[in-house]
């Protein structure tokens, strides 16, 4: 589901859970993103909180924000 999010766009953890057919799995999606060891290949940085904020990141919040800014500029 993360790899289907277009470059430069984001989806909330809840929207990703819905796309997976498991609307109650929002926390599981966030947890899986937090454990992602291949962040560039599987773009967990495109997953954000429902309020539009980036939320935490295994790779640190500033780096997540930078990836999103670069993608939006491209």
Catalytic residues: 44
The stretch 49-64 carries a mean pLDDT of 82
Q: What is the dihedral of CA 66, 17, 29, 55, to 10 degrees?
A: 40
CA distance 38 to 53: 22
Closest CA to 7 of 71, 59, 50, 52: 71
CA 40 to chain centre: 11
Predicted structure pTM score: 0.86
State both tokens at 46. Answer: 């495109």
Per-residue pLDDT of 17-53, as tens digits, reads 999 999 999 999 999 988 888 877 899 999 999 999 8
State both tokens at 71. Answer: 């993608």
């Amino acid at each position: 589901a993360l790899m289907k999010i277009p470059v430069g766009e984001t989806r909330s953890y809840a929207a990703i859970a819905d796309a997976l057919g498991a609307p109650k799995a929002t926390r599981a999606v966030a947890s899986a993103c937090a454990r992602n060891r291949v962040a560039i290949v599987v773009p967990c940085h495109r997953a954000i909180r429902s309020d539009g904020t980036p939320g935490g990141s295994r790779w640190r919040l500033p780096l997540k924000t930078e990836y999103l800014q670069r993608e939006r500029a491209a």
